[in-house]
């Protein structure tokens, strides 16, 4: 059995969660870490027995010759980190958002193309067992579907917590991306039109309402409340069946003519680890083995970023 070597860039909470997931698989060894805040990297190296704590991305590759690097850094640092990381022949798994807005994401995508880099976006909600069960259920359903996404955001809380204003001003990319990505997953065909009925207002509490029309006939309905109460939720409705993710980690189904909403089982990995990360790690194994997989590419991520741009016009 091949042991794949992993390097980590970044030493925040998400890096720690990735380490936990990959450490549970015999195919992987976390072999090195780099962070601008070296003391955080050293703490993780002690906690998880990581051999190499490096002073630069160049040193990280030269010391580890890792097969995979996980990039989990603040939004405003992602492009500069990728610019260096893309010089090396490891596979890159980049925490979303891959860019703090659409233009920044496009710049990162072009850097990857220029360097012929194999890079993927870490959309862990795509790998929730609830999401996967819904996708599998939809395979055999050819009916027109309506996908309703309800979003709720508190950017002021993040601003008060010290998040940079540029990130908060683009908060739909930093945070709403998690839930808007469900349109990319569940709506078939190409997006042909977006009707923005209630528009977003920068810096003000507001409602947002948009209708998305797809070439398949599928309809997306996006509702969001900024600085107000509400849960994240996704529903998919067809004439014969309805699915609901609320919270997103749970799936409930309802058949036509039934009033019962039935809670589906979720995989133990979504309780033992940060939801989605353990199954995402399995997809990484497939990438490294050259097998078919379900990891979204940077091009896939741009599809969702473009939807955000069309809804929010920013």
CA distance 290 to 88: 19
pLDDT at 1: 57
Span 92-99, average pLDDT:
97
- Specify whether 137 is located in the same domain as 230: yes
Residues 60 and 161 in one domain: no
pLDDT of residue 18: 98
Q: How confident is the model at residue 129 (pLDDT cuts 50, 70, 90)?
A: very high
The pTM assigned to this predicted structure is 0.96
Indicate whether 253 pLDDT > 80: yes
pLDDT exceeds 70 at position 43? yes
Query: Residues 73, 142: one domain?
Result: no
- Residue percentage of the chain with pLDDT more than 90: 98
**Residue 229, domain CATH:** 3.30.360.10
Residue 9 three-state SS: strand
User: Over 90: is that where the pLDDT of 201 sits?
Assistant: yes
Same domain, 258 and 306: yes
Residue 11, domain CATH: 3.40.50.720
Structure tokens at 97: 């958002």
253 occurs within a structural domain: yes
Indicate if 153 and 199 belong to the same structural domain: yes
pLDDT of 82 higher than 90: yes
In sequence order, the 6+-apart residues with CB closer than 8 A to the CB of 32 are 7, 8, 50, 51, 52, 53, 54, 60, 63, 64, 66
Q: What's the pLDDT band for 203 if we cut at 50, 70, 90? A: confident
Q: Is 86 in the same domain as 180? A: no
The answer to whether residue 208 scores a pLDDT higher than 60 is yes
Give yes or no: residues 155 and 175 share one domain: yes
Strand partners for 221: 148, 211
pLDDT digits (tens, 9 = 90+) for 221-245: 999 999 999 999 999 999 999 999 9
Write the pLDDT tens digit of every residue in 58-74: 999 999 999 999 999 99
pLDDT reported for residue 217? 98
Question: Does residue 211 sit in the same domain as residue 107?
Answer: no
Are residues 92 and 153 located together in one domain of the fold? no
Provide the CB-side half-sphere exposure for 151 (13 A, CA).
31
Question: Based on the number of CB atoms within 10 Å of its own CB, is 35 exposed (0-12), middle (13-18) or buried (19 or more)?
Answer: buried
Q: How many residues appear in the chain?
A: 314
The verdict on 32 and 179 lying in the same domain is no
Mean pLDDT (the chain, rounded): 97
Q: What is the pLDDT of residues 3-29, one digit of tens each?
A: 999 999 999 999 999 999 999 999 999
Predicted pLDDT of residue 240 = 97
pLDDT of residue 209: 98
What is the chain's Cα-based Rg? 20
What residues make up the domain containing 176?
A: 126-268+297-312
pLDDT of residue 234: 98
Q: Is residue 2 very low, low, confident or very high in pLDDT (cuts 50, 70, 90)?
A: confident
Distances (CA, A) of 192 to 113, 142, 181: 27, 20, 17
Q: Give the closest residue to 172 by CA, choosing from 15, 24, 305.
A: 305
Instruction: Report yes or no on 284 lying in a domain.
Output: no
How many domains, the chain? 2
| 68 occurs within a structural domain | yes
Same domain, 39 and 182: no
């Amino acid at each position: 059995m091949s042991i794949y070597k992993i390097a980590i860039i970044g030493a925040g909470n998400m890096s720690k969660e990735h380490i936990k997931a990959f450490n549970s698989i015999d195919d992987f060894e976390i072999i090195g870490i780099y962070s601008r805040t070296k003391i955080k990297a050293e703490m993780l190296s002690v906690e998880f027995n990581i051999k190499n704590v490096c002073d630069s991305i160049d040193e990280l590759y030269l010391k580890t010759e890792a097969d995979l690097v996980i990039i989990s850094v603040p939004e405003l640092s992602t492009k500069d980190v990728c610019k260096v990381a893309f010089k090396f022949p490891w596979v890159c798994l980049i925490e979303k958002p891959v860019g703090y807005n659409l233009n920044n994401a496009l710049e990162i995508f072009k850097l990857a193309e220029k360097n012929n880099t194999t890079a993927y976006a870490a959309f862990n909600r795509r790998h929730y067992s609830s999401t996967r069960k819904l996708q599998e259920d939809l395979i055999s359903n050819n009916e027109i579907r309506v996908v309703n996404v309800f979003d709720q955001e508190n950017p002021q809380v993040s601003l008060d917590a010290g998040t940079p204003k540029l990130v908060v001003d683009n908060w739909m990319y930093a945070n709403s991306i998690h839930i808007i990505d469900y349109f990319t997953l569940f709506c078939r065909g190409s997006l042909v039109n977006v009707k923005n009925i209630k528009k977003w207002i920068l810096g003000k509490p507001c409602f947002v309402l948009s209708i998305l029309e797809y070439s398949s006939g599928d309809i997306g309905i996006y509702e969001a409340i900024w600085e107000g109460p509400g849960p994240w939720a996704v529903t998919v409705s067809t004439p014969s069946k309805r699915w609901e993710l609320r919270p997103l980690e749970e799936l409930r189904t309802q058949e036509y003519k039934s009033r019962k909403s039935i809670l589906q089982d979720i995989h133990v990995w979504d309780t033992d680890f940060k939801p989605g990360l353990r199954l995402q790690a399995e997809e990484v194994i497939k990438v490294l083995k050259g097998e078919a997989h379900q990891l979204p590419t940077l091009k896939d991520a741009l599809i969702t970023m473009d939807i955000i741009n069309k809804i929010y016009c920013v």
